């Protein structure tokens, strides 16, 4: 990772020394967790490259696009309808939120008892370590949890914020609220980018993002095979990178990788020994480089074959209907699609429990590892109902609460290993 | 407090021994905090009586009303439009949520990292210590915070739950959502009680609850005087009891108490020495018997003259417009009134900050003691913006996070005393 970008990072007002140190740590971490895997897929070379250039070449691309008048819009959540951003010739990117960075600075303006993800994005910004934040013309938040909702009010002093309201139930009135919020967002993006969104442009963006979802669905389906031809870590990484990379290029590359995976399946080659215990991770999103739990699981004789997560199936399961013939119908199709997200922010949220059970069966997992960030009340509280529902189905379950520090790795290993032994028996 | 009610409590399936022990502890606690005050108001005798009979006579009244076919509806939050309940000949009551009770039982079905209020209401129910829960035909929750929203899903296994959605912003679309939710609640209450709500009945209920708010506004205004004729503890108790007592009787009694207070003011008599430092408490609600912080403050040379709280001004400041001539207009008036609540569940919530500042000036306080329950993210995060806004106004501020245990009393005293010394200087 390179000093070739130092001038750009300096222009973006990053803390160069701290940033260099961060990249070094992350590079080593990536080496340990990813590059150490045996019999790596050829197609993962692209992902290795993207990761190595995520603060470099990708930022350079964003800067070049900006110099041509395009706007970069940062998002934190799968509820923000990216289609709107791309249709206005903007670029949607995920933001840095997966590492324990700038925590002390974040805790000067926020409580300590907040989830790592929130403290991380605030910390990345305050410590000047995220070139994505510095490239953003607008940051779009949403009201999916109390922590983010109230943090955005404070964060608005540091970045240009726009907040979208997400309803908390799924009644007809909520659908109307979401529809109005999508239209308000469309107006905001149009006036902000100066580009009116045409039906054709929105339809094209819908298709482009559906293509990205379709290739991730294809990847996920391949993972139903046993032995599974790709590790959970690699699959997670692909899902993570989908939030940062150029969508068309990403889709093309992952499509090639899927060809390679299908070939592996034909040959009966697994990424891990056939004896590896198939498990699902379910719960909170895992942003780059939050690979701790998957690594602990896959070092314990198991393999993750499904992520029931915003960085996983929650983001890719549902497509936008492409058959709309008017703008109104296309907006309705967006509302339909985004209304189907089974986030713990909804009450009730029975769909999520049903979706976990059906995925557990279809992906033939031996157990569900429920994962929440400490202080994430929606997912932590919901885990109690998930546990009960899985018990009724006879599916083993363990609940893991953690954060971004490395302090609990040994404890996690002990718990995860005991769980995996139990379900292998 | 009495064994005269043992048969009733047994019928309600309370844990009689544990309940007797609870009443004993609370009685002692009340004696220490309330009855020990010097020169008590005559009018407070009524409140002492209500407290002593809160699990006794009041429950007997509810049981008698039930035997006549009336329905008892329990609520947790000032967002539930009680007017609807009373208009359908129902009885609205607050629920037990202010003491550390049944915590172990609550933590079997909920995370540990949840605010005391939530763990308390769940604990009261699971430990069979709240005769209000056992008298309720329906419990009405709302989506004001992640903790409550997700807990109600679990709590629905133990009590008959209905959940009302509260929007998170104050746009036109949110107003429409709230209106629909009020109408959905009206339908629910009508079908549940079997009583259609007439315009006249709703108008009467609006007037009755406005009268209760008006008398509490009157009480609050009297507290602008210096020396203040009533302690903060007593004023808080009155606000707390407003959620449990019969509204008409309560209004009448508090009106008499206000007469007495005004007489005291005319005579220049204060409830505390003139030198007592005037402070405001701002933040989370304090349910009975959560008197810890007010007691610590008022034992430290200060007097609380304003509660910026759901059990305080947030519940009493706004009236429902009584001039409506049609049901539609009356519903609109309810929507108007409930939309004005400045709860931290909203984003942004600038009104609350403006309201704190103007009350700090009107009630002439020397400092604001911001209070949040640990793990209450909305109020804790918002406290950072409140602090900044008050600093700009030159109003001293301290943030206190606590729970219902008594473990931190000494630490609270130290912090509060230091703050009061600082602002007295």
Q: Is residue B109 pLDDT above 70, yes or no?
A: yes
Q: Is residue A397 pLDDT above 50, yes or no?
A: yes
How far is the CA of A76 from the CAs of A91, A236, A286, in angstroms? 14, 17, 12
Find, in chain B, the residue whose alpha carbon is nearest to that of A176. B173
d(CA A414, CA A422): 12
Phi, psi of A54 (to 5 degrees): -65, -35
Q: How many CB atoms lie within 10 A of CB B63?
A: 16
Contact pairs from chain A to chain B, CB under 8 Å? 132
Check A377 against B168: CB less than 8 A apart. no
Dihedral sign for Cα atoms in the order B276, B282, B287, B293: negative
Identify which of A113, A150, A167 has the shortest CB distance to residue B378.
A150
Check A168 against B168: CB less than 8 A apart. yes
d(CA B101, CA B117): 10
Identify which of B169, B378, B382 has the shortest CB distance to residue A165.
B169
Check A381 against B168: CB less than 8 A apart. no
Check A347 against B150: CB less than 8 A apart. yes
Residue pair B232/B312 in contact (Cβ under 8 Å)? The answer is no
| Secondary structure of residue B162 in the 3-state scheme | strand
Edge-to-edge strands, sheet with A161-164: A91-94, A72-75, A138-142, A161-164
DSSP state of A303: E
Contacts of B110 in chain A (CB under 8 A): 381, 384
Phi, psi of A321 (to 5 degrees): -60, 125
Q: Is residue A2 pLDDT above 70, yes or no?
A: no
Q: Is residue B1 pLDDT above 50, yes or no?
A: no
Contacts of B183 in chain A (CB under 8 A): none
Q: Is residue B94 pLDDT above 80, yes or no?
A: yes
Q: What pLDDT digit, counting tens, does each position of B111-159 carry?
A: 999 999 999 999 999 999 999 999 999 999 999 999 999 999 999 999 9
Q: Is residue A374 pLDDT above 90, yes or no?
A: yes
The angle formed by the CA atoms of residues A34, A229 and A305, to the nearest 5 degrees, is 80
How far is the CA of B338 from the CAs of A132, A172, B146, B181, B218, in angstroms? 40, 21, 20, 12, 20
pTM over 0.95? The answer is yes
Q: What pLDDT digit, counting tens, does each position of A158-187 carry?
A: 999 999 999 999 999 999 999 999 999 999
Find, in chain B, the residue whose alpha carbon is nearest to that of A156. B348
Quote the minimal CA–CA distance from B211 to chain A in Å: 32
Which residues neighbour B295 within 8 Å (Cβ) at sequence distance 6 or greater?
Answer: B33, B233
Q: What is the pLDDT of residue A39?
A: 86
DSSP-assigned states of every residue in B50-103 = HHHTTTTHHHHHHHHHHHTT--EEEE-STTS-HHHHHHTT-EEEE---SS--SH
Dihedral sign for Cα atoms in the order A138, A141, A147, A150: positive
Contacts of B163 in chain A (CB under 8 A): 347
B-interface mutation test, from A119, A143, A185, A377, most B Cβ less than 10 A away = A377
Identify which of A143, A150, A384 has the shortest CB distance to residue B154.
A384
Quote the minimal CA–CA distance from A228 to chain B in Å: 35
DSSP state of B378: H
Residue pair A76/A151 in contact (Cβ under 8 Å)? The answer is no
The angle formed by the CA atoms of residues B228, B234 and B236, to the nearest 5 degrees, is 105
Residue pair A289/A29 in contact (Cβ under 8 Å)? The answer is yes
Q: What pLDDT digit, counting tens, does each position of A221-252 carry?
A: 999 999 999 999 999 999 999 999 999 999 99
Q: Which residues pair with B398 in a beta bridge?
A: B369
> Helical H runs in A35-135?
44-52, 57-67, 82-87, 103-109, 116-126, 131-135
Q: What pLDDT digit, counting tens, does each position of B177-211 carry?
A: 999 999 999 999 999 999 999 999 999 999 999 99
DSSP state of A277: E
Check A378 against B110: CB less than 8 A apart. no
Burial of A48 (0-12, 13-18, 19+ CB in 10 A): middle
Q: Complex ipTM, two decimals?
A: 0.97
pLDDT tier for residue A425 given thresholds of 50, 70 and 90: confident
| Mean pLDDT for all residues in chain B | 97
Q: How far apart are the first and last CA of chain A?
A: 44
Conformation bin of residue B319: beta by default, left when phi > 0, alpha when psi is -120 to 50: beta
Residue pair A170/A346 in contact (Cβ under 8 Å)? The answer is yes
Identify which of B174, B344, B380 has the shortest CB distance to residue A111.
B380
Quote the minimal CA–CA distance from A319 to chain B in Å: 26
Q: What is the pLDDT of residue B132?
A: 96
d(CA A41, CA A365): 23
Quote the minimal CA–CA distance from A391 to chain B in Å: 15
| A184-187 contacts, C-beta under 8 A, 24 or more apart | A184/B171, A185/A80, A185/A81, A185/A84, A185/A140, A186/A84, A186/A331
d(CA B9, CA B17): 11
Find, in chain A, the residue whose alpha carbon is nearest to that of B173. A177
Contacts of A165 in chain B (CB under 8 A): 167-169, 171, 173-174
Find, in chain A, the residue whose alpha carbon is nearest to that of B170. A165
| Secondary structure of residue A367 in the 3-state scheme | strand
Q: Which residues pair with A140 in a beta bridge?
A: A75, A162
Cis preceding linkage at A189, omega within 30: no
| Numbered residues of chain A with Cβ closer than 8 Å to any chain B Cβ | 109-111, 113-114, 143, 145-147, 149-154, 163, 165, 167-169, 171, 173-174, 176-177, 180-181, 184, 344-345, 347-349, 374-375, 377-378, 380-382, 384-385, 401
Check A114 against B150: CB less than 8 A apart. no
Check A111 against B349: CB less than 8 A apart. no
Give the residue-averaged pLDDT of B282-304: 97
How far is the CA of A406 from the CAs of A118, A296, A411, in angstroms? 17, 11, 10
Instruction: Count Cα neighbours of B108 within 13 Å in the Cβ-side half-sphere.
Output: 6
Q: What is the pLDDT of residue A1?
A: 46
> Which secondary-structure segment (H or E) carries A284?
none
pLDDT tier for residue B425 given thresholds of 50, 70 and 90: confident
- The full length of chain B comes to 425
Of chain B, the percentage scoring pLDDT greater than 70 comes to 99
Contacts of B343 in chain A (CB under 8 A): none
Contacts of A151 in chain B (CB under 8 A): 381
Q: What is the pLDDT of residue B39?
A: 86
d(CA A321, CA A209): 12
Of chain B, the percentage scoring pLDDT greater than 90 comes to 98
């Amino acid at each position: 990772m390179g000093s070739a970008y130092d001038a750009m990072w300096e222009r973006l007002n990053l803390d160069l020394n701290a940033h260099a140190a961060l990249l070094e740590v992350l590079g080593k971490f990536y080496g340990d967790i990813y590059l150490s895997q045996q019999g790596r897929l050829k197609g993962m070379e692209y992902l290795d490259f993207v990761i190595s250039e995520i603060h470099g070449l990708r930022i350079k691309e964003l800067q070049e696009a900006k110099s041509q008048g395009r706007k970069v819009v940062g998002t934190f959540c799968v509820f923000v309808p990216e289609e709107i951003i791309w249709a206005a010739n903007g670029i949607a990117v995920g933001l840095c939120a997966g590492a324990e960075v700038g925590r002390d600075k974040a805790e000067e303006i926020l409580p300590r008892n907040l989830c790592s993800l929130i403290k991380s994005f605030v910390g990345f910004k305050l410590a000047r370590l995220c070139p994505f934040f510095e490239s953003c013309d607008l940051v779009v938040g949403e009201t999916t949890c109390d922590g983010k909702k109230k943090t955005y009010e404070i964060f608005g002093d540091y970045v240009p914020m726009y907040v979208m309201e997400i309803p908390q139930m799924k009644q007809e009135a909520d659908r109307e609220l979401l529809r109005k919020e999508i239209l308000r967002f469309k107006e905001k993006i149009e006036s902000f980018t100066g580009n009116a969104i045409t039906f054709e442009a929105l339809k094209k963006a819908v298709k482009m993002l559906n293509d990205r979802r379709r290739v991730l669905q294809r990847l996920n389906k391949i993972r139903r095979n046993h032995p599974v031809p790709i590790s959970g870590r690699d699959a997670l990484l692909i899902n993570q990178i989908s939030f940062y990379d150029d969508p068309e290029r990403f889709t093309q590359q992952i499509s090639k990788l899927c060809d390679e995976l299908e070939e592996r399946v034909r040959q009966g080659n697994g990424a891990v020994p056939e004896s590896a215990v198939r498990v699902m991770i379910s719960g909170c999103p895992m942003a780059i480089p939050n690979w701790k739990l998957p690594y602990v699981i896959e070092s314990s004789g198991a393999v993750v074959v499904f992520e029931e997560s915003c960085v996983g199936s929650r983001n890719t399961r549902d497509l936008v209907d492409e058959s709309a013939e008017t703008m109104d119908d296309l907006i309705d199709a967006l509302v339909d699609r985004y209304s189907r997200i089974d986030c713990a922010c909804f009450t009730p949220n029975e769909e999520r429990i049903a979706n976990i059970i059906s995925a557990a069966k279809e992906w033939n997992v031996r157990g569900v590892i429920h994962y929440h960030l400490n202080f994430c009340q929606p997912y932590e509280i919901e885990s109690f109902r998930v546990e009960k529902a899985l018990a009724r189905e006879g599916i083993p379950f363990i609940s893991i609460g953690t954060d971004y520090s490395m302090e609990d790795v040994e404890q996690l290993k002990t718990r995860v290993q005991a769980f995996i032994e139990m379900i292998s028996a």
